[in-house]
Structure 1
Amino acid sequence: MTAERVGGRVRLSDLSGGTYLSPRPLGVRGAAARVALVGAYALLLAGDDLRMEVTVGPGVWLELVEPSGIVAYDARGGAASWQADVRVADGGCLVWRGAPFVVTAGADVTRRTRIELSGGARALVHETLVLGRSYETGGGPLRSTTRVAADGRPLLVEDLDLRDPVLAGAPGVLGGNRVLTTAFLLGARPGQAVGVQETLLHGPGALARSVAAHAHEAEAAVAGSWERWRAGFADPAGYEDAV
């Protein structure tokens, strides 16, 4: 999916989607656009390989909305993967509050997120990883990597390997919890870290993170950071119904 500015208005292209997700425009006005990522069918199943490419052009404000979460089901000995490649050009802005990503018992998932920022680009991303459904004691193996670069230089490099339940439950990782929520502020630096959940990155950015037994608890812990950072990403023009 590509959002570019043409004649003072955002033009959305490459919305045909694929096997797994179908991007649906929710609103476009001036330099701002809002797009929903709608699942085409139940996922992730064994053998599924979901890949997304999102490009935000210069001066474009784009918000991605997920109406429902993603569930990685019992792979029955197989595996599945999820990958997002995001590029935000100079002056562009991306806001993406992802719905919970649930890894059920028996699933085996590799999750990759790569974000490239250029010039004055900014991104605000929210993700929640859940190991196991409410009636399960835990989820299947999960490895989640995040790579963020600003003007070609690494801003955040993270490899979260939860494939070993013993290591995943260590005090410095999940510590017996099954939910991990993170808000990433990228390309912009807050004045200071506020609260124990926030960490300033070495470059222009910060993250707020919490672990808990339940998704609503983990998300509530970083809600203040998200709302404060989200205020700096205010929609510049409002929306109108997409045609």
Structure 2
Amino acid sequence: MNAPISPTLFTPSWHAELELGYARAGEYTRPVMRRHQGPLRVQKHLYAEGPEVCQHIIVHPPAGIAGGDSLNIRASVAENAWAQLTSPGATKWYRANSAAHQQVELCVAAGATLEWLPQETIVYSSAQAELRTRIELEGDARLFYWDIVALGRPAAGERFTAGHFQAHLDIRRDGQPLWHERQRVVGGDGLLDSPIGLAGQPVFATLLVSGEVDAELLERCRELKTPVRGDLSQLPGLLVARCLAGEALQARAWLIELWRLLRPALLGREAVPPRIWST
């Protein structure tokens, strides 16, 4: 008689890759590379702001990331092109018995602009989420980047009591480090409630923008009326904003308001929110 086989041997996993490339052709930024493998792709490119800014919405059809899954995204923006990448909704990392991985590699050439503006990442309790992002900027390349992380599901009464969230973020300009960060949050750890940690707030968000702003604009950003606990710091060549929030929607609303204020000053264009954010 054969022994029963453990169901864990049959745990399915998705391995997906997406490679994107953008180049300037006259007045237009055109997608010149769009290659995908597995359940990861982009919808039709849009020009909501006119031909200069090419907007793509990255879609992961399974709608969630489980143990053993791996997602790899690569995007390059050529000289003088402008790409704006976002997502149709929250990315969900499900509880799992093994780690799931996401790797993002972004390269922005001199004179080019990249806006990386995904919606929130929701990490279920007992998930094992491991993310790695590397961004290479060349010359005067411009970057507007944010991420929003929600630990657990507060609306469902779920706290982040088990599992882990781990993220590596490296930004370099001409090979020199501009931002280097490592995060690791363990479910049930004391730092989740500690005043020197997340202070009981399940959501944290980061915004990074290349360039520098004057003291007046920095103060306007700090004076935004919002329920989040957030602030901004001007570093050499990089503006950093962070917040803690009780809900992902609050953090996202704060980031969008900062984007509205900072985009004209640092990128030279008024902020036009993608329609997908309102659906």
In structure 2, which of residues 178, 184, 188 is the aligned counterpart of residue 155 of structure 1?
Answer: 178
Does the residue aligned with 1:119 lie in a helix, a strand or coil?
Answer: coil
Mapped partners of 1:151, 1:169: distance in 2 = 39
2:168 corresponds to:
145
Mapped partners of 1:235, 1:105: distance in 2 = 40
Does the residue aligned with 1:90 lie in a helix, a strand or coil?
Answer: coil
Task: Structure 1: state its 5+ residue gaps.
Answer: 239-243
Q: Which structure shows the bigger proportion of residues in helix conformation?
A: 2
Asked whether the equivalents of residues 16 and 23 of structure 1 are also in contact (C-alpha less than 8 Å), the reply is: no
Mapped partners of 1:219, 1:9: distance in 2 = 29
1:48 corresponds to:
69
Mapped partners of 1:183, 1:45: distance in 2 = 26
Normalised to the residue count of structure 1, the TM-score between the two structures is 0.88
Count the aligned residue pairs. 234
Does the residue aligned with 2:186 lie in a helix, a strand or coil?
Answer: coil
2:201 corresponds to:
177
Q: CA deviation at 1:235?
A: 5.2
In structure 2, which of residues 71, 83, 99 is the aligned counterpart of residue 79 of structure 1?
Answer: 99
2:115 corresponds to:
95
What's the CA shift string for 1:218-241, capped at 9, x where partnerless? 3344443222112243559x9xxx
Asked whether the equivalents of residues 119 and 252 of structure 2 are also in contact (C-alpha less than 8 Å), the reply is: no
Mapped partners of 2:54, 2:233: distance in 1 = 30
1:230 corresponds to:
263
1:121 corresponds to:
141
Asked whether the equivalents of residues 44 and 72 of structure 1 are also in contact (C-alpha less than 8 Å), the reply is: yes
1:23 corresponds to:
42
Mapped partners of 1:61, 1:231: distance in 2 = 15
Q: Whose RCO is larger (CA < 8 A, sep 6+)?
A: 1
2:239 corresponds to:
206
Mapped partners of 1:226, 1:32: distance in 2 = 16
1:64-75 mapped onto 2 (5 Å cutoff): 64-75=85-96
Mapped partners of 1:21, 1:151: distance in 2 = 30
Q: CA deviation at 1:108?
A: 0.4
Structure with the greater alpha carbon radius of gyration: 2
Asked whether the equivalents of residues 31 and 59 of structure 1 are also in contact (C-alpha less than 8 Å), the reply is: no
Runs of 4+ in structure 1 off by over 6 angstroms are: none
Cα gap change, 1:223 to 1:35, in 2 (>3 Å): closer
Does the residue aligned with 1:176 lie in a helix, a strand or coil?
Answer: coil
1:4 corresponds to:
23
Mapped partners of 1:115, 1:80: distance in 2 = 21
Normalised to the residue count of structure 2, the TM-score between the two structures is 0.77
Q: CA deviation at 1:43?
A: 2.3
In structure 2, which of residues 53, 56, 63 is the aligned counterpart of residue 35 of structure 1?
Answer: 56
Cα gap change, 1:129 to 1:206, in 2 (>3 Å): same
Amino acid at match of 1:137: R
2:231 corresponds to:
197
**Paired-residue identity, %:** 25
Amino acid at match of 2:183: L
2:250 corresponds to:
217
Mapped partners of 2:38, 2:196: distance in 1 = 37
Cα gap change, 1:147 to 1:168, in 2 (>3 Å): farther
Task: Structure 2: state its 5+ residue gaps.
Answer: 1-19, 223-229, 273-279
Does the residue aligned with 1:146 lie in a helix, a strand or coil?
Answer: strand
Mapped partners of 1:30, 1:70: distance in 2 = 29
More displaced 10-residue stretch of structure 1: 164-173 or 60-69: 164-173
Mapped partners of 1:220, 1:34: distance in 2 = 20
